[in-house]
């Protein structure tokens, strides 16, 4: 059985006090669910979040990290720093990191390797842009993003990897992939992984969908057989909306 996950990416939102308010509300309302629930606050609020959630089922992830162990990388955060404050999961390859901060497949492959070297869990994001879908290149693009960052890894690495398919045209736009489009891509991803590794790896890997998941569309998207949950941006900043999405899994 694959693990179901609902993860909230809070991006560059919420001050420390606002984070505490949101966490308090989340903890008091989080439903009893078999799905894992994860939140990814901004770096400066990670420590407080870890402490706040110490007795809760809600887990914590970082939104990014650097691939180097330490050194002259002004503004960056290392795996050791995250582990030291109790953060064992990291989002790698979010489309905003790729498009705004110029992160390439090559850099992402290095980040993945560093996370694995540190026994961290990775939520690896990828997905095509609108023009690529319009030109029917979405399968090709997704396959190459996966191949470049993940397909040189050993089979054992996959127990540390969660995938998040996030079509760029659906992130923060209010436009969602239809449940059928999400299912079609998730099935393709599984088939591609089965070819590159084996059927078991493909069957066992959790594949999240991300892109304007809201309380009113979550149930239909999550009902698809190859969709194992969601990576939620905007809606995860509102406790009641995030809780409604968790209940939809
Ligand atoms: C995201 O940033 O990962 C995301 C899916 O955002 P939103 O839900 O706001 O589209």
pLDDT computed for residue 173 by the predictor: 84
Residue pair 232/8 in contact by the 8 Å Cβ criterion:
yes
231 touches ligand 1 (CB under 6 Å): yes
Instruction: Determine the residue of 231, 235, 245, 246 to mutate for testing ligand 1's pocket, defined as the one with the most ligand atoms within 8 A of the Cβ atom.
Output: 231
166 touches ligand 1 (CB under 6 Å): yes
Q: Classify residue 160 by its DSSP letter.
A: G
CA 72 / ligand 1 centre spacing (Å): 31
172 touches ligand 1 (CB under 6 Å): yes
Q: How many helices (H) and strands (E) does the chain have?
A: 11, 8
CA dist 160 → 97, 109, 121 (Å):
21, 14, 5
CA 84 / ligand 1 centre spacing (Å): 28
> Residues with catalytic annotation?
94, 166
pLDDT computed for residue 63 by the predictor: 98
Residue pair 68/107 in contact by the 8 Å Cβ criterion:
no
Per-residue confidence of the chain (249 residues) as pLDDT tens digits?
Answer: 799 999 999 999 999 999 999 999 999 999 999 899 999 999 999 999 999 999 999 999 999 999 999 999 999 999 999 999 999 999 999 999 999 999 999 999 999 999 999 999 999 999 999 999 999 999 999 999 999 999 999 999 999 999 999 999 998 888 888 999 999 999 999 999 999 999 999 999 999 999 999 999 999 999 999 999 999 999 999 999 999 999 999
Residues 6+ apart with CB under 8 A from 20: 48, 52
CA dist 208 → 48, 160, 221, 232 (Å):
26, 14, 10, 10
Q: What is the CA radius of gyration of the chain?
A: 17
103 touches ligand 1 (CB under 6 Å): no
pTM of the predicted protein model: 0.97
């Amino acid at each position: 059985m694959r693990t179901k996950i609902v993860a909230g990416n809070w991006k560059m939102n919420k001050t420390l006090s606002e984070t505490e308010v949101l966490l308090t509300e989340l903890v008091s309302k989080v439903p009893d669910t078999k799905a894992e629930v994860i939140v990814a606050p901004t770096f400066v609020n990670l420590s407080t979040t870890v402490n706040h959630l110490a007795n809760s089922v809600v887990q914590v992830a970082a939104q990014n990290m650097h691939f180097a162990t330490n050194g002259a990388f002004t503004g960056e955060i290392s795996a050791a720093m995250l582990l030291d404050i109790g953060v064992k999961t990291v989002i790698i390859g979010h489309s905003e990191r790729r498009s705004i901060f110029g992160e390439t497949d090559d850099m992402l492959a290095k980040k993945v390797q560093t996370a694995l070297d540190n026994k961290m869990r990775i939520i690896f994001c990828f997905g095509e842009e609108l023009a690529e879908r319009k030109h029917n290149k979405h399968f090709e693009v997704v396959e190459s993003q996966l191949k470049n960052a993940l397909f040189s890894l050993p089979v054992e690495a996959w127990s540390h990897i969660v995938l998040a398919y996030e079509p760029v045209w659906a992130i923060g736009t209010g436009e969602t992939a239809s449940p059928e489009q999400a299912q079609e891509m998730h099935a393709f991803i599984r088939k591609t992984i089965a070819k590159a590794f084996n059927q078991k790896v493909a069957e066992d890997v959790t594949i999240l969908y991300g892109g304007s998941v809201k309380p009113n569309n979550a149930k239909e998207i999550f009902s698809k057989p190859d969709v194992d949950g969601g990576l939620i941006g905007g809606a995860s900043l509102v406790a009641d909306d995030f809780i409604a999405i968790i209940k939809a899994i």
